[in-house]
Amino acid sequence: MRGNEDERLDALFGAYRDACPDPEASANFMPTLWARIDSRQTFLFSFRRMANAFVTAAVALSIALGVYLTIPRSTPGTTPGTTPETYVEVLAAANPLDTPDIVSPGVRVDLNGR
Amino acid sequence: MLVDFDLIKRAQNRDSAAFNEIVLAYRKRILGTITRLIARSEDVEDVAQEVFLRLYFSLDQLRTPEVFEPWLYRLTVNAAFDYLRKQRRRQEFRMSDLSEQQVLMADATAGSKVEHEEQAKKKVRESVDSLLGAVSEADRILLLLKEVEGLSLKELEKIYKVNENALKVRLFRARQRVLKAFGAGGKKEGPG
């Protein structure tokens, strides 16, 4: 049920509608609007061009990095052009001096010498 | 609809003449709505241009021309809301804000019938702006669209993309707050 105040408020809103009529646009409205559209378009165009350049540079860098990582490189202690195949071989190649002397074929143990 | 679907489709294909026609058709209505939403006449054209600027760059996202008007209203509401968020203040164009010379000039010219009418309109504007201060910016815009712009709940549903019942509840609460302020204002003013 709508009360008396509701009706008065509706009347006030109606009066507000009449008190704020639709204004006419100024003569500059359309030229200014198109100038703003052009300006935004120019900005978007340069932004898009910059983004494209950035994407191209990023792709080129990724390809270069990929190529660099896939090229086989020689490590010290291995024959150039060959790569160690197992973990033990990699360790042996990396630490050649760590091999214990006891297993060296040039060493003899004299058990009678006391 | 103030324009036909064909014109909208042409504008979607970046036809400047078609877009121009759409702006000319809706310009006055949008200016009027913005005038009532932001209550700052000096910035109305700027906000209206922002609406049409957004329209130009997002027109290709509109899939069905049938929803063009609610969509344009949505852009208008968003632009007005963005503006109000930036401003964070309402139009308070009162005598206390005028310079001494402006007050003297206003007093000197406030005798004619036209001036009386203008004063009455100004008073109505101030009263409604003050009453709508009782609700949030979002509710203020919603109430204005419903009560002053005369949009139906169905239209508001399309603009806000919110369930009709949720809108009804929100409108009811906002209206109750305004009514409370209205009643309080009436009592404060007293009989006379």
* B45/A25 CB distance under 8 A: yes
Residues A60 and A80 in one domain: no
Q: Which domain holds residue B23?
A: 1-89
Give a yes or no: residue A48 inside a domain.
yes
Q: A-chain residues within 8 Å CB-CB of B29?
A: 22
**How close, in Å, is residue B141 to chain A by CA atoms?**
13
Whether residue A58 lies within 8 A of chain B, CB to CB, comes out as no
More confident residue, B124 or A1: B124
Within 8 A by CB and 6+ apart from B3, the residues are: B21, B22, B25, B26, B68
Residues A30 and A51 in one domain: yes
Residue B144: predicted pLDDT: 93
Predicted confidence (pLDDT) per residue in A14-56, tens digit: 999 988 888 889 999 999 999 999 999 899 888 889 999 999 9
Domain with residue B39: its CATH number is 1.10.1740.10
Restricting to B residues 15-54, those with a Cβ less than 8 Å away from any Cβ of A are 20, 23-24, 27-29, 31-32, 35-36, 41, 44-45, 48-49, 52-53
Predicted confidence (pLDDT) per residue in B67-121, tens digit: 899 999 999 999 999 998 888 654 444 444 545 555 455 555 555 677 788 888 8
* B49/A24 CB distance under 8 A: no
Residue B58 CA to residue B48 CA, distance in Å, equals: 15
Residues A30 and A66 in one domain: yes
Q: Among residues B163, B160, B128, B99, which one has the least CA distance to residue A14? A: B128
More confident residue, B169 or B97: B169
Whether residue B130 lies within 8 A of chain A, CB to CB, comes out as no
Give a yes or no: residue A43 inside a domain.
yes
Residue B167 CA to residue B155 CA, distance in Å, equals: 11
Weakest-pLDDT range from A7-21, A99-113, B56-70, B150-164: A99-113
Query: What's the structural domain count of chain B?
Result: 1
Give a yes or no: residue B3 inside a domain.
yes
SS3 of chain B: helix, strand, coil, percent, to 5 = 80, 0, 20
Residues A87 and A67 in one domain: no
Give a yes or no: residue A79 inside a domain.
yes
Give a yes or no: residue A17 inside a domain.
no
Residue B95: predicted pLDDT: 43
Give a yes or no: residue A33 inside a domain.
yes
Give a yes or no: residue B57 inside a domain.
yes
Q: Of A9, A25, A33, which is closest to B31 when you measure between CB atoms?
A: A25
Give a yes or no: residue B42 inside a domain.
yes
Q: A-chain residues within 8 Å CB-CB of B175?
A: 9
Give a yes or no: residue B44 inside a domain.
yes
Give, for B159, the enclosing helix (H) or strand (E): helix B153-160
Q: How many CB pairs under 8 A join A and B?
A: 79
Does the pLDDT value for residue A113 go beyond 90? no
Give a yes or no: residue B161 inside a domain.
no
Average pLDDT over residues B47-72: 92
Q: Residue B59 in contact with residue B11, Cβ under 8 Å?
A: yes
Give a yes or no: residue B9 inside a domain.
yes
Residue B75: predicted pLDDT: 94
Residue A77: predicted pLDDT: 53
Residue A24's closest chain B neighbor by CA? B28
Q: Of A15, A33, A37, which is closest to B124 when you measure between CB atoms?
A: A15
Within 8 A by CB and 6+ apart from B22, the residues are: B3, B7, B8, B11, B55
Provide the 3-class DSSP secondary structure of residue A53.
helix
Average pLDDT over residues B160-167: 90
Q: A-chain residues within 8 Å CB-CB of B121?
A: 18-19
Give a yes or no: residue B100 inside a domain.
no
Q: Of B20, B31, B49, which is closest to A22 when you measure between CB atoms?
A: B31
**How close, in Å, is residue B150 to chain A by CA atoms?**
10
Give a yes or no: residue B182 inside a domain.
no
Phi then psi for residue A108, to 5 deg, are -120, 140
Write out the two tokens for B39.
């209550």
Q: Residue A21 in contact with residue B117, Cβ under 8 Å?
A: no
Residue B119: predicted pLDDT: 86
Give a yes or no: residue A19 inside a domain.
no
Residues A63 and A40 in one domain: yes
**How close, in Å, is residue A4 to chain B by CA atoms?**
11
Residues A30 and A65 in one domain: yes
Residue A43 CA to residue A95 CA, distance in Å, equals: 60
Does the pLDDT value for residue B39 go beyond 70? yes
Weakest-pLDDT range from A49-53, A101-105, B147-151: A101-105
Q: How far is CA A4 from CA A9, A13, B131, in A?
A: 9, 14, 17
Looking at every residue in chain B, the average pLDDT score rounds to 84
Within 8 A by CB and 6+ apart from B107, the residues are: none
Residues A95 and A66 in one domain: no
* B128/A16 CB distance under 8 A: yes
Give a yes or no: residue A50 inside a domain.
yes
Query: What's the structural domain count of chain A?
Result: 2
Q: Which domain holds residue A97?
A: 74-104
Residues A58 and A84 in one domain: no
* B31/A20 CB distance under 8 A: no
